[in-house]
Amino acid sequence: MTQAAVTQSWLNPGAADAVAGNLDTTHEMSRQWQGFMTARLLLGFVLVTLQTALYVTGTSHSQTQIAISAAYLAGTLASKLFIQPRPLGQSFNRVWGALVGIDLLTFSALQLIQGGGASISTINYTPLFALPVLVASVLGSMRLALGTAAGITVLMLGVSIWSYLQSPTESAPYFVQPALSGVGYFAIAWLSNQLASRLTTEGLRARQSQLAANIQRQVNELVIESLPDGVLIVDERGCVHAANPAARQLLGSQQALHATVFDLKEEAGWLPLLRLTRLSMGTGKSHEEDVTIRHSHQGPQRVHVRTRLAAPQGSAGESLCVLFLQDQRELEARMRTEKLAGMGRLSTAVAHEIRNPLSAITQANALLEEDVNDPKLKRLTAMVSQNAKRLERIVNDILNVSRVQPYDTAYLIPALPLDNTIRRICSDWASQIGAQGRLSIHANDPTTDVRFDTEHLRRVLVNLLDNAHRHTQEFHDAIQVFASASDARHATIAIWSDAPPMDLSVERHLFEPFFSSDSRSSGLGLFICRELCERHDASIIYQRNIRIARGQPTEGNEFVVTLRRADAPDNAHTAELPITPWQSPLY
């Protein structure tokens, strides 16, 4: 069956069954055709041999029978070689004449020359008429089979009438045998056609069931191969009969990666799996346990294992145990993700509850500050004001995470002029915090527009600039912003600072929420930047890069935001984001 037919079976089962039925019917009919052709060819060879032997031994002196048998052998050979397998149809046609008609004429001629059905003959050829009846019954319809039986009966009666006219005696011996033979041929035609139809139907159903089972098996194998969890099928001796790619990776051995069949006893690190398999088979129950796979050339692999027993098939079937393996690191990562999601929802709810009393505290502190003249009390109110503002920033960061919503389509994202927007946002930020001497902007492409919300881009850049400002000193060109079009689809914004390199433990969790190396930070700034970029079909990365600062090459930290240009094709995607030479990280 073709791949197209297999694919179609899941979308349109009726059409697939029709295709499978046509293919199976054609195959079955061709097999039956070849069987009958071989039988006819063998019969022709036997007739030629028999007639020749009778003539040589003097039992028969008719050369005509030899010629008829030879002609029949040649005709059957020609029909086998030159006629394609096809159904005989509902009525008499050329194919019927080439197969059944030749048989009828040949056997009738042999019987007529032999001397009729009632004479004492050396050979009676009437049983051979069963062959054309079977051919018509199996390869044709019921009508054609009964018509063939009727034709044979008429021929036999004609031969009997001819013999009776040649030697008129008692008529009963001449007509009883053709009548009984005719009834038998009608019975053969009806029974053969019924049996052939039933067998064809049952064979078709069996092949369709086998096809459905094969498709289901292929789908099951595909699903198991694609599972992220490992699956092992192990017998009671510890021999692994099948393993999906995830299981082979978790086993952590070159033999498991490449061997088709392997044994759990061959590696010391697999012995916990073998023990658990034997425990399940010994008790007849499923088990669940955390095991550690240890190999000498690598670190320990913690795996959560669940066992299920497969019932043996047949009396001599072998019991098998199915092991489901889950990487503990993935389970823990999933739990951390769920925990972070729960923390995020809880933090949003708490932030909403904190906002109102925080506003009241800030307002009360401002009123109190107006009536306070003591310098010591002034310092206290200043501390309250400073920490209230810090708490307000944390609350705003938490609420901003929940407020960020993606646009429905790319066409709703506004187009921004890249250079003018970058200069305006960076200049406003530098004026507010007094960092004009520390910041330099490099944007000289006024023709490039990008798809990004203005306020969201401001929040991304301000977060990155604040992060750079906290880790740099009061030097010229300590913070640099670069904006350019990287290719026809994308534009980049790079925020560079001459800050020292980050620790690897910090860099690994850089964009995770609530993670920060600064005790005064909420740990949401870079996380919000990444969320905003992803919602605008953009990306953000961190790297170490070299820039010219104060007249000399200086290595520093750099965050690169890659945005989609406004005139980019609709199928442009962040998976194809380019990395220009100056973006290559230096570690």
Overall residue count recorded for the chain in this entry: 587
Q: 117 pLDDT band (50/70/90 cuts)? A: very low
What mean pLDDT value characterizes the chain?
79
What's the first-to-final CA gap in the chain, in angstroms? 55
Of the candidate ranges 213-222, 304-313, 402-411, the one whose mean pLDDT is the lowest: 402-411
In this predicted structure, what is the pLDDT of residue 494? Answer: 94
Q: 116 pLDDT band (50/70/90 cuts)? A: very low
Tens of pLDDT, residues 260-300: 788 888 888 888 898 998 898 888 888 898 888 887 777 78
Looking at the domain that runs over 410-583, which CATH code has it been given?
3.30.565.10
Which residues does 70 contact at the CB level (< 8 Å), separation at least 6? 48
Which of 41-45, 171-175, 528-532 shows the highest mean pLDDT? Answer: 41-45
Looking at the domain that runs over 333-403, which CATH code has it been given?
1.10.287
Tens of pLDDT, residues 534-582: 888 889 999 999 998 888 999 999 999 999 888 765 544 443 333 333 3
Q: 55 pLDDT band (50/70/90 cuts)? A: confident
Indicate if the pLDDT at residue 129 is higher than 60.
yes
CA dihedral 239, 242, 246, 251 (to 10 degrees): 10
Judge: domain 228-329, CATH 3.90.580.10: no
Task: Tell me the HSE value of 572 on the side-chain side, using a 13 A CA sphere.
Answer: 23
Q: 461 pLDDT band (50/70/90 cuts)? A: very high
In this predicted structure, what is the pLDDT of residue 312? Answer: 66
- 198 and 191 in contact (C-beta within 8 Å)? no
Indicate if the pLDDT at residue 481 is higher than 90.
yes
Q: Which of 467, 440, 426 is nearest to 550 (CA)?
A: 440
Return residue ranges of the chain for CATH 3.30.450.20: 228-329
- Whole-structure pTM value: 0.44
Distance separating alpha carbons of residues 521 and 527, to the nearest angstrom: 12
Of the candidate ranges 8-12, 179-183, 493-497, the one whose mean pLDDT is the lowest: 8-12
Of the candidate ranges 235-239, 322-326, 404-408, the one whose mean pLDDT is the lowest: 404-408
Tens of pLDDT, residues 497-517: 998 888 776 777 787 776 666
Percent of the chain with pLDDT over 90: 10
Percent of the chain with pLDDT over 70: 82
Of the candidate ranges 106-120, 154-168, 364-378, the one whose mean pLDDT is the lowest: 106-120
Indicate if the pLDDT at residue 1 is higher than 50.
no
Q: 480 pLDDT band (50/70/90 cuts)? A: very high
Element of type H or E holding 308: strand 298-310
State both tokens at 148: 């063939």
- 297 and 254 in contact (C-beta within 8 Å)? no
For residues 411 and 469, the model is more confident at 469
- 454 and 421 in contact (C-beta within 8 Å)? yes
Distance separating alpha carbons of residues 42 and 133, to the nearest angstrom: 17
Return residue ranges of the chain for CATH 1.10.287: 333-403
Q: Summarize the confidence of residues 85-110 as an average pLDDT.
A: 79
